[in-house]
Structure 1
């Protein structure tokens, strides 16, 4: 029975999928909790801020109402019939009648002062009798200091809603072309006391009375710079006096409420550190962050438990299968639990033992067979040019070219010493490369009048790299036998090497003109076939040896040379051998 798993391959582990699904289910709950907490805090914060706005507005209206009451009394005083009579008939009145009217005006002034604790002095100037009637200085003739001060204030234009003289605040009204002037001095300490009462609504709150024109008149703050900065912030364009604002001054966020005191054309501004207003919410914020941290801890503990119970056993099993893929069967998975994984691990161990027993029965025979094949392939390399070389030495001796004969004999001896010596099947690459160059030297000495070769030094190839013996010389031999057999006079062989990222390449090119496209295609087809038999052809022999040793990606490739002849690339993939060795060590 065949079991098939549906779906596409995924890069995600089962452990990661479980944790992600758990987090995806938990995120909506956490998000809703965050939203509800912030929504609740926002509503509560708005309620607190609105309450503070209402409290400040109430006190400002009370103050405004009190000052309007004083103004109304002042306007009633200036229209009092006794005061008007005193003004119109002052110079015609007899002394007794004048004194009686003055006493009645004083009674009205006394009533005005008693009507509000904000009034510290009230008085009236009557031009017709040239006197001022004041509750602080009594009835005095003019000119006097009090009247001169009031007269100087009357020169201010346009007429303000109140008058400032040093730290003193006056409400002044006149009638009949300034023949009657009433004035009331407002108590500055009482105004400041009223502002202090408002400031007691919240801890660390301050209240100021001022405007853009007059600046800060009164403030409960010890530092007037702070109040001045707050006043500037509230005077910005588009500032709504009926809407609370949150502004930053001196690095602190302040909640600011602004109410108009219409009787004085001033603004009463209460500002308080926002943290002080929202301090009751800090406990809820602490609990919120505590619950959030607990949720994070729960997710971490859940992820850790899934990792221990599921991911780690699965990872062991997957690693074991990877090791089996590298033909490493000396592996046993230990199980300390008695769950489902215990059964899976035991079944895997039994399967690995059975595979190992089955492979061991055939492995040694297969290795021996491959070794014998390598020996047979290596032994088939036929140095058929030996006889021609001896004949060339004979001819050189006959013509008296002793130097060439000596050099050819030396190269020939080195050549046959390399191919006939016993020892390991693999040799360092630089020796194999040197042997191929010796072969080229021999051929070039034999055909010095028409053949030459050029080569690259293999300095970039590590000396530790080893290759099978006699894999380069057959390629070079093929060039001399087939590329130049038409007797061309300027034949040339080009040999180069390249190494990088575990890949070794040796390229042999010629400038011969005998390699047709059809011949190149046929040779490429033969090299591409994975032949299991022993071949007599030198190139196919080398190709089989390389594939048998290094895998199907190694071997020979044939293409057209840039010099016009044939180009043969010898490719050895060394990285695969390194990876296989690393996996075996695991």
Structure 2
């Protein structure tokens, strides 16, 4: 029973059903979770490809426009009108000079109108210290904007410069490298940053997304009113990126509580980076919703598993537990019917059959018990009928001799003791008697033997019975047979100084009645044979005398009680009867089975 209770959770059906259910559900859930993760990864990859494609496309458009502007600069840098104004203006008449300036301005206007990203076009004629612009007539002095493109005179081809938050593209006249032909004129274009910003605003369809152009070397930034935080983060990221990702790449950057997916690519011609950024929530917002739905599904599944487990507990575990409890009661000897379950299922049938089994067991136990009682009664009657003929002959011969000697007093006492003796062993009113009555009968037997044997030959000492044990109910004839054995087998041949000691003590909740003699006839082989017979108690044995008493005590009080034998301190055999100690004075000991006791 304790082993079952210790291992019941591991060995019962209920946890096995739960584990089997989890083994079925877990792979399905795992496959679903894996598919969700693969889908999320695939969507992220597609979104990154889409963002990179947009960056590539837009940067290619910008480079086409920039190459067109560079081509216009290279084309008009050798324009004859600009050359005439720079080199032979002092030979022109007023009319020719005016027409030349007008033609130059018209050409600059043509360059400006050819591209949306051109804000203005200027020709800085250094030989005249004057500037001709598409937006203004010829100036009296060189324009301040020349400072933005002054360094281009040292370059061959078109150069780019960033000046006062403005972006310029310029080219110097090739002949400026010739001797005595330094700083002739420079043709420059100012990029229309507003138009580029408008173009960047249309770059992405996502909310709060955007794009910007950044040159991390000179700090030039062109954005469409991006948040300062993301602008700084992107600038820092471009400065600190690895060499492997210097040209282009894709990353996720966090700024405070926000997170962005970023794609960038560098323009090899102009040196700036085109960066597109999209809030993570915009790109993978749907994925996050699906993830939340997956967690919601997981929670619902968990609730379902808990509900399912509780349902299995109510359906299977609880009835089984009640049935096991019922079987434990049966093992303890309590044949109690169990209430039938409300559901008419298999357990209803099992509970019905269990109750029928309990009723049948009650009947069988009652029949076996009655059979046991009948066997005990017949055994007792058999013991009662086992009156030693020699004892009967001897008592009558002693009575005859006393009468012949006219010893009337001893005849009276002997007849009284003999009558009490035969009355006690032959009455059939009850099987149980008070322990006092059993001891009194044993004393009567001793008085008969004292008359038979001289008192100086055999003496018998009775100890005091512990208080509260006199009314204890015991089977009849449990003590006198052992005193009789002491007379017959231990001391019958002893001519003097024979002694029998009857002691009654309480020890460890047991009442011990011992009969010990100082006989010299007991051998170790006899003692071992008696002990073996007491332990064996086979069904085919003849239960008489000592074995009869031993078996009746065990039937009456339980297997831990009965008779044991040993060699006593006086040298003879010591037989000890173990009985349960009464719980309180004046109250007889209860039998191990309440039905084993009968009233007198």
TM-score clears 0.5: yes
Query: Which residue, 189, 192, 196 being the options, matches 2:201?
Result: 196
For residue 113 of structure 1, report the CA deviation from its aligned partner: 1.0
Residue 352 of structure 1 pairs with residue 358 of structure 2: yes
TM-score (norm 1): 0.58
Q: How many residues of Structure 1 are paired with residues of Structure 2 in the alignment? A: 410
For residue 300 of structure 1, report the CA deviation from its aligned partner: 3.8
Residue 125 of structure 1 is matched in structure 2 by: 124
C-alpha separation in 1, matches of 2:510 and 2:331: 30
For residue 193 of structure 1, report the CA deviation from its aligned partner: 1.9
Residue 37 of structure 1 pairs with residue 36 of structure 2: yes
Maintained 8 Å contact 2:260/2:280? yes
Query: Which residue, 303, 310, 329 being the options, matches 1:304?
Result: 310
For residue 229 of structure 1, report the CA deviation from its aligned partner: 1.1
CA distances 1:445-498 after superposition (whole Å, capped 9, x unpaired): xxxxxxxxxxxxxxxxxxxxx932589xx9xxxxxxxxxxxxxxxxxxxxxxxx
C-alpha separation in 2, matches of 1:302 and 1:225: 51
For residue 535 of structure 1, report the CA deviation from its aligned partner: 2.0
C-alpha separation in 1, matches of 2:160 and 2:219: 14
Residue 218 of structure 1 is matched in structure 2 by: 222
Residue 184 of structure 1 is matched in structure 2 by: 189
Residue 467 of structure 1 pairs with residue 508 of structure 2: yes
For residue 304 of structure 1, report the CA deviation from its aligned partner: 3.4
C-alpha separation in 1, matches of 2:126 and 2:87: 10
CA distances 1:376-431 after superposition (whole Å, capped 9, x unpaired): 9xx9xxxxxxxxxxxxxxxxxxxxxxxxxxxxxxxxxxxxxx97431269xxxxxx
| Structure 1 residues 40-119: aligned runs within 5 Å | 40-89=39-88, 98-119=97-118
TM-score (norm 2): 0.57
C-alpha separation in 1, matches of 2:159 and 2:12: 80
Residue 499 of structure 2 is matched in structure 1 by: none
For residue 222 of structure 1, report the CA deviation from its aligned partner: 5.1
Quick one: structure 1 residues 321 and 307, their matched pair in 2 at CA, closer, same or farther if it must change by over 3 Å? same
For residue 73 of structure 1, report the CA deviation from its aligned partner: 1.0
Could you say what secondary structure the match of 2:260 adopts?
strand
C-alpha separation in 1, matches of 2:151 and 2:194: 22
Quick one: structure 1 residues 112 and 239, their matched pair in 2 at CA, closer, same or farther if it must change by over 3 Å? same
CA distances 1:215-234 after superposition (whole Å, capped 9, x unpaired): 35122245323311122224
For residue 184 of structure 1, report the CA deviation from its aligned partner: 1.4
Structure 2 gaps of 5+ residues are 1-6, 178-182, 380-430, 440-462, 471-506, 515-526, 537-561, 582-600
Residue 261 of structure 2 is matched in structure 1 by: 255
Quick one: structure 1 residues 186 and 330, their matched pair in 2 at CA, closer, same or farther if it must change by over 3 Å? same
Residue 362 of structure 1 is matched in structure 2 by: 369
Maintained 8 Å contact 1:117/1:190? yes
Could you say what secondary structure the match of 1:138 adopts?
coil
C-alpha separation in 2, matches of 1:161 and 1:331: 105
C-alpha separation in 2, matches of 1:157 and 1:537: 132
Quick one: structure 1 residues 147 and 423, their matched pair in 2 at CA, closer, same or farther if it must change by over 3 Å? closer
Maintained 8 Å contact 2:567/2:574? yes
Residue 421 of structure 1 is matched in structure 2 by: 466
Could you say what secondary structure the match of 2:82 adopts?
helix
Could you say what secondary structure the match of 2:122 adopts?
strand
Could you say what secondary structure the match of 1:265 adopts?
coil
| Structure 1 residues 366-405: aligned runs within 5 Å | none
For residue 274 of structure 1, report the CA deviation from its aligned partner: 0.6
| Structure 1 residues 163-182: aligned runs within 5 Å | 163-175=161-173, 176-177=176-177, 178-182=183-187
Query: Which residue, 557, 564, 572 being the options, matches 1:534?
Result: 564
CA distances 1:86-132 after superposition (whole Å, capped 9, x unpaired): 54555566665555544433332121111122222211223333432
Larger Rg: 2
